[in-house]
Amino acid sequence: MIKPLRHLLLIPAIAALGASAQEDGGGAFDADGFFVPGSDEAPGAGGERGGEFDADGFFAPEGDTDPGTTPTDAADAAGAPDDELFAEPEGGGLRFDDDLADEFRPWKLGGYVGAEARWFFEDARYPDQLDGFQPSLLLQPELSFETRDGRHQFRLTPFFRYDAQDSQRTHFDLREANWRLVGDGWDLLAGVGKVYWGVAESRHLVDVINQVDAVEDIDEEDKLGQPMLNLNLTRDWGTLGLFAMTGFRERSFPGAGGRLRPGLPVRDDDAIFESGLEHWYPEFALRYQHTLGGFDIGAHYFHGTGREPTFVPSADGTFLRPRYEIINQVGLDLQYTKDAWLWKLEAIGREGHGSPFLASVAGVEYTFFGAFGGSADLGLLFEHLYDGRDADAPPTAFDNDLFAGARLALNDTQDTSLLAGAIFDPSDSTAAILLEAERRLGDRWKVELEARVFAGPADEGSAYRDLAEDSFVALRLTRHF
Amino acid sequence: MKNPYPHPHPPSLTLAVSAAITIALVVGLALAPLARAADPRAKGYAIAEASDNSDNGFGDSAVKLKMILKTSAGRTTERVLEIRTLERENAGVGDKSVVVFSSPADIGGTALLSHAKLVTPDDQWLYLPALKRVKRISSKNKSGPFVGSEFAFEDFTALELGKFDYKYLRSETFAGLACNVIERYPKYQYSGYTKSVGWIDQADKQLRKVDFYDRKGELLKTLTFKGYKRYAGKYWRPHQLEMVNHQTGKSTVLLYAKYQFGAGLRGADFVSTALTRTR
């Protein structure tokens, strides 16, 4: 935008002064650009004149009915301490400030810093593993820049955790470091990015682009940044995403001293790759998404190094080596939304991990809005998990499991919420139970409480054998900026 | 295919009878506007329609606002959000909008996309930036509080003309302005209101006040609109909204910054997949 034009555009607005007696101008905009109510709010204030914006969206003060009052006085009288937003037609020293007038902030800094304490209340199953408290510190700044026309976006989101007990959990990652070019009905992202695919809650089966940052938590919701070129086309028939990737990210694992690991520690710097190109094997993915009435439809194809590893014992039998294979995967994710019901399905077919297999998560979410006669919402979740993979494929606990959960959102000003859920395996009577509670403290602090309990027999072959003593409670306090 | 509709008039009718009916119809049609003017429902609709039409052609808009939540004890909490709106394609559908939160900081970047419908439920998606997840959510939650405020979801999303039946009540002066007072009855399901009463000024046809009545028919909330400014010579926007809950004593004030019109927003910016570009 060219600055002098704005002054030209003021002319029609000034010409229109007094066009309406119904404008109630007893207010002004403050330095942040928000409306500040005027002092006169009595009935009849509607007749008071304030000002008007020109076609370009800039405020132009109206000539006051009192000839002795300047526009600046009017703004002051209206209770606005800062009047940078207001044009001063007589050139009284007030100017437009680009940022203030347009409310456009090219740079944004967000993110959080926090502290976490995990408490494992049972003795470790394996020697070397830590007992009791596992304190750590977290930092994730999020820096973004956007050009005024919105065509270019830059994002930088580094993540760092310092863990006092497990050196493998002390780690750094670039969650995002990318540039996005936004066109008319298309956008192109280049750099390290993060995407989320899918609709289910208990398992994220179709979400194959980003590697799991497994050292963070075992819910597979923390992901590592993935280098990519991603072109998205948005048309009447849906959104088509094309991904070209390389620079494979290896899954993170707890160290020998960490909890929530297999019997032998996984050495993630000693991986085996099916492809001789190792990390640099070229990967492709295709993603389609569309909404048709109550249906949200997603489909994908992925070819590349599978994010899930199999494990190979080292020659001396003291640790496990992750092995990454080339896979082809097609998948579908579907949600049907009707009234308070969400019907969900995620399904994949994969080849490259043992024999070709199918896996699925199918379920339903129902929400009681205004539950218990107040403003809280209670959501109930049920999902069935199936996975047909064989023993040559990466291990999974979700071969034929049931998930049930409940989510309570109090809808208060502090966004208090509670989540309780459990995944049961009827074949071996094991269960992984989760409890989560969170609440904002003041404007910038947030406290989260998380408990995971692994219940049931810990005998050979049961899904949580290695984790049977790893039930824990975690308390996390973060400050957001 | 068999014509499912009955024949317009029996073929045995004589030409004269036919002509008489035609004349009666023509006269009836000519008199209909007069009859409608006297019908409070038609008049109420016409007033609401004129108010709705005063906004036609705005295209798209973007505005930042500060939401101030006040407890009955006077304790306040603030939120900052931005609302981007794309005008409806035609009178048969509603506007599309995205609400993006920038504070409180822990929910910064969270966005709600709505495709307003007339009587069928709106389509809504929630974007959770921490996971980069877009989730289609139920829009049955009409009467629930919008982010802990005294505004319900329907106060934000149910602003389409076709979502209500109307009835003209009276004309009276409010805040120094000659206003028409009309009742609105929600036609969509799951509203928390049995009715609302709106004051629309006669000169500029803008809402000045709305009283909301709960499911028991008791006065629940009052919304007042202040700080009206006009953009591009024709589009009126209030810059201070206050919703007072009479039953709890809590209130919520919305203070708006300047609106940006013609920001070049397009349909492709209002699909669920575009939410991941939110910052």
DSSP state of B73: T
Tokens read off for A169: 């959990």
Instruction: Tell me if B64 and A221 make a contact (CB, 8 A cut-off).
Output: no
Nearest by Cα to A195 from B89, B45, B275, B240: B275
Give me the residue from A45, A187, A411 closest to B144, CB to CB.
A411
Work out the minimum CA distance from A457 to partner chain B, whole angstroms. 33
pLDDT of residue A95 exceeding 90: no
DSSP state of B145: B
Instruction: Tell me if B176 and A47 make a contact (CB, 8 A cut-off).
Output: yes
Instruction: Tell me if B136 and A19 make a contact (CB, 8 A cut-off).
Output: no
- The whole-angstrom separation of Cα A31 and Cα A51 is 17
Which of A102, A117, A147 is the last residue before a domain boundary? A102
The pLDDT tens digits for A35-91 are: 777 644 333 333 333 444 333 333 333 333 333 322 333 333 333 323 323 222 223
Residues in chain B with CB shorter than 8 Å from the CB of A46 are: 175-177, 201, 208
Put simply, whether A439 touches B (Cβ < 8 Å) is: no
Same domain as A163, residue A80 = no
Same domain as A125, residue A11 = no
Instruction: Tell me if B276 and A195 make a contact (CB, 8 A cut-off).
Output: yes
Binning chain B into helix, strand and coil, the percentages to the nearest 5 are 20, 40, 40
Put simply, whether A416 touches B (Cβ < 8 Å) is: no
Nearest by Cα to B67 from B59, B76, B55: B76
Neighbours of A8 (CB within 10 A): 11
Give me the residue from A13, A296, A446 closest to B136, CB to CB.
A296
**Would residue B9 count as lying in a domain?**
no
**Are the C-beta atoms of A46 and A21 separated by less than 8 Å?**
no
**Beta-strand pair A320-324/A310-313:** antiparallel
List CB contacts of B60: < 8 A, sequence separation 6 or more. B84, B85, B86, B87, B261, B262, B263, B264, B265
Put simply, whether A8 touches B (Cβ < 8 Å) is: no
Residue A373: C-alpha distances to residues A158, A271, A368, A409, B144 (Å): 43, 55, 10, 13, 11
Same domain as A303, residue A164 = yes
Residue B249: C-alpha distances to residues B69, B74, B191 (Å): 11, 9, 21
Q: Is B217 exposed, middle or buried (0-12, 13-18, 19+ CB in 10 A)?
A: exposed
**What is the number of H-type helices and E-type strands within chain A?**
3, 25
The pLDDT tens digits for A155-187 are: 999 999 999 999 999 999 999 999 999 999 999
* CATH number of the domain within which B132 lies: 2.50.20.10
C-alpha neighbours within 13 Å on the C-beta side of residue B171: 8
Same domain as A173, residue A133 = yes
Q: Which percentage of chain A shows pLDDT scores above 70?
A: 80
A103 — pLDDT class (breaks 50, 70, 90): low
Q: State the pLDDT at residue B263.
A: 82
Instruction: Tell me if B123 and A291 make a contact (CB, 8 A cut-off).
Output: yes
Instruction: Tell me if A339 and B140 make a contact (CB, 8 A cut-off).
Output: yes
Same domain as A120, residue A94 = no
Put simply, whether A373 touches B (Cβ < 8 Å) is: no
Interhelix angle B40-53/B15-38, rounded to 10 degrees, is: 70
Q: Which residues pair with A384 in a beta bridge?
A: A362, A402
- The whole-angstrom separation of Cα A197 and Cα A349 is 16
Which of A65, A84, A102 is the last residue before a domain boundary? A102
Residues 109-148 (A) with a CB less than 8 A from some CB of B: 110, 112, 144, 146
- The whole-angstrom separation of Cα A180 and Cα A191 is 9
Q: Which percentage of chain A shows pLDDT scores above 90?
A: 70
Q: State the pLDDT at residue A66.
A: 32
Mean pLDDT of chain A: 83
Work out the minimum CA distance from B184 to partner chain A, whole angstroms. 23
Same domain as A222, residue A73 = no
Provide the domain count of chain A.
2
**Would residue B90 count as lying in a domain?**
yes
Candidates A5, A14, A24, A148, partner chain B, best to mutate (most B CBs within 10 A): A24
3-state secondary structure of A162: strand
**Would residue B30 count as lying in a domain?**
no
Put simply, whether A175 touches B (Cβ < 8 Å) is: no
Range of the domain at B209: 51-277
Put simply, whether A346 touches B (Cβ < 8 Å) is: no
Chain A: residue whose CA lies nearest to B250: A413
Q: State the pLDDT at residue A192.
A: 98
Give me the residue from B176, B240, B277 closest to A153, CB to CB.
B277
- The whole-angstrom separation of Cα A324 and Cα A310 is 7
Strand ranges across the sheet with A320-324: A272-273, A320-324, A310-313
A435 — pLDDT class (breaks 50, 70, 90): very high
**Would residue B74 count as lying in a domain?**
yes
Same domain as A91, residue A153 = no
The pLDDT tens digits for A452-463 are: 999 988 777 777
Which of A47, A78, A102 is the last residue before a domain boundary? A102
Chain B: residue whose CA lies nearest to A233: B268
Q: State the pLDDT at residue B144.
A: 87
Q: State the pLDDT at residue A24.
A: 56
Could you write out the DSSP letters of every residue in A356-394? EEEEEEEEEEEEEEEETTTTEEEEEEEEEEEE---TTSP
Instruction: Tell me if B258 and A58 make a contact (CB, 8 A cut-off).
Output: yes
**Are the C-beta atoms of B119 and B185 separated by less than 8 Å?**
no
Instruction: State phi, psi for B2 to the nearest 5 degrees.
Output: -70, 135
Put simply, whether A97 touches B (Cβ < 8 Å) is: no
Put simply, whether A155 touches B (Cβ < 8 Å) is: yes
Q: State the pLDDT at residue A148.
A: 87
Same domain as A111, residue A246 = yes
Same domain as A91, residue A12 = yes
Put simply, whether A50 touches B (Cβ < 8 Å) is: yes
Radius of gyration of chain B (CA): 22
Work out the minimum CA distance from A447 to partner chain B, whole angstroms. 11
Q: How many inter-chain contacts (A to B, CB under 8 Å) are there? A: 202
Same domain as A136, residue A47 = no
pLDDT of residue A1 exceeding 50: no
Residues in chain A with CB shorter than 8 Å from the CB of B109 are: 110
**Are the C-beta atoms of A129 and A467 separated by less than 8 Å?**
no
* CATH number of the domain within which A215 lies: 2.40.160.10
Chain A: residue whose CA lies nearest to B121: A339
Provide the domain count of chain B.
1
Q: State the pLDDT at residue B158.
A: 59
Range of the domain at A287: 107-480
**How many whole angstroms from its chain centre is CA B66?**
20
Candidates B78, B248, B258, partner chain A, best to mutate (most A CBs within 10 A): B258
* Residues B35-64 as b or e (16 or more Cβ within 10 Å = b): eeeeeeebbbbbbbeebbebbeebebbbbb
pLDDT tens per residue across all 279 residues of chain B: 444 443 434 344 444 555 555 565 555 555 555 555 579 999 999 999 999 998 888 999 999 999 999 999 989 999 999 999 999 988 788 899 999 999 899 999 999 999 988 888 889 999 999 999 999 999 888 888 888 899 998 887 757 888 899 999 999 999 999 999 999 999 988 899 999 999 999 999 999 999 999 999 999 999 999 999 999 888 999 999 999 999 999 999 999 999 999 888 999 999 999 999 887
**How many whole angstroms from its chain centre is CA B206?**
12
Q: State the pLDDT at residue B16.
A: 53
Chain A: residue whose CA lies nearest to B267: A185
- The whole-angstrom separation of Cα A60 and Cα A57 is 9
Put simply, whether A194 touches B (Cβ < 8 Å) is: yes
pLDDT of residue A126 exceeding 50: yes
Q: State the pLDDT at residue A46.
A: 37
